[in-house]
Amino acid sequence: MLQLCRITKSYRMGEMAVEILHGIDLTILRGDYTAIVGSSGSGKSTLMNILGCLEPPSSGQYYFNARDITQLSDNERTDIRNVQIGFVFQQFNLLPRLTALQNVMLPMVYAGYGREERRQRAAAMLEQVGLADRMTNRPNQLSGGQQQRVAIARALVNQPELLLADEPTGALDSRTGEEVIELMSALHADGLTVVLVTHDASVAQNCGKIIRIQDGQISRSA
């Protein structure tokens, strides 16, 4: 489903170019449950952003369903983010002025669904993550765990093939973090392909596959 060939990523820091990723080769199959682990600054978040089509790699090829992402236009990559990939952020990234329901509906707005269908599907999705009674709350009226579940509902509402989660438990206490991880496991059990970044070994243990990143390279894959 995903295939990365010699992906590198460098950032320009003033005069100097700093390379964060040095040639990543990676394959993720449909139905995989993969954890990417590594210390902070190892480049795992950057890798995640490339997987999520949020930023293009500096070199190398990235095939998503056999299409080379690096050759696509900005609009095409935007549409992949919209429909085929769900992305869950460490900081939730909900829009503070919108209600939970409106936040979940947002990807469907950009996908061009009608108002009624949006409302129904977003409501069903919030029910699925256990927030049926919190639909009209704004993010600041929700706990961290609830916000992250809204974010997960938003990521899934367009029925993507791939769910990417960048340290989804990073901003949560351990108990709510566990709930979120349980939710992700359940989604994987239903057939969703999941990739998550974590530095929590116990979280990684749940996953079928662990990829360890060190200094911008894959050091061990299991």
Partner 1 sequence: MGLRRRERNGGDLAETIALAWSSLLANRMRSALTMLGVIIGIAAVISMVTIGRGAQLQTENQLKSLGSNLVFVQSGVAASGGPASRGAGSATTLIWEDAQAIAASIPAVADVAPNLSQRTQVVLGDRNTNTTVVGSTPAYVTVRDFLPLSGRFFNQVELNQAARVAVLGQTVVDSLGLTERSALDRTIRIRGETFTVIGTLEFKGSTGFRDQDDQVLIPLTTMAARIVGVNTTAGVSVESIAVSARSAQSMAAAEYQITNLLRLRHRIVPPREDDFLIRNQADLVNASNAVANVFTALLGGSAAISLLVGGIGIMNIMLVSVSERTREIGIRRAIGARCSDILRQFLIESTVLSLAGGLLGVLLGVVASLTINAIFGWSAGIAFDAVGWSLAFCLVIGVFFGAYPANKAAQLDPMTALRSD
Binding site for partner 1 (CB under 8 A): 49, 52, 54-55, 65, 74-76, 78-84, 87, 89, 93-95, 97, 106-107, 109-112, 115, 154-155, 158
- The smaller minimum CB distance to partner 1, of residues 107 and 216, is found at 107
- The smaller minimum CB distance to partner 1, of residues 65 and 219, is found at 65
- The smaller minimum CB distance to partner 1, of residues 62 and 89, is found at 89
Question: Nearest distance from residue 49's CB to partner 1, in Å?
Answer: 6
Question: Nearest distance from residue 178's CB to partner 1, in Å?
Answer: 26
Do residues 42 and 197 touch, judged by C-beta distance below 8 A?
Answer: no
**CB atoms near residue 72 (< 10 Å):** 17
Question: How many angstroms separate the CA atoms of 61 and 211, rounded?
Answer: 19
CA-to-CA separations, 135 to 149, 170, 174, 184, in angstroms, rounded: 12, 24, 25, 20
Residue 8, strand partner residues: 22, 59
Question: Nearest distance from residue 30's CB to partner 1, in Å?
Answer: 11
Question: Nearest distance from residue 7's CB to partner 1, in Å?
Answer: 15
Query: Which of 72, 31, 22, 12 minimizes the C-alpha distance to 188?
Result: 31
Q: For tokens 């243990």, name the residue.
A: 205
- The smaller minimum CB distance to partner 1, of residues 159 and 219, is found at 159
Question: Nearest distance from residue 205's CB to partner 1, in Å?
Answer: 29
Residue 88, strand partner residues: 165
- The smaller minimum CB distance to partner 1, of residues 26 and 94, is found at 94
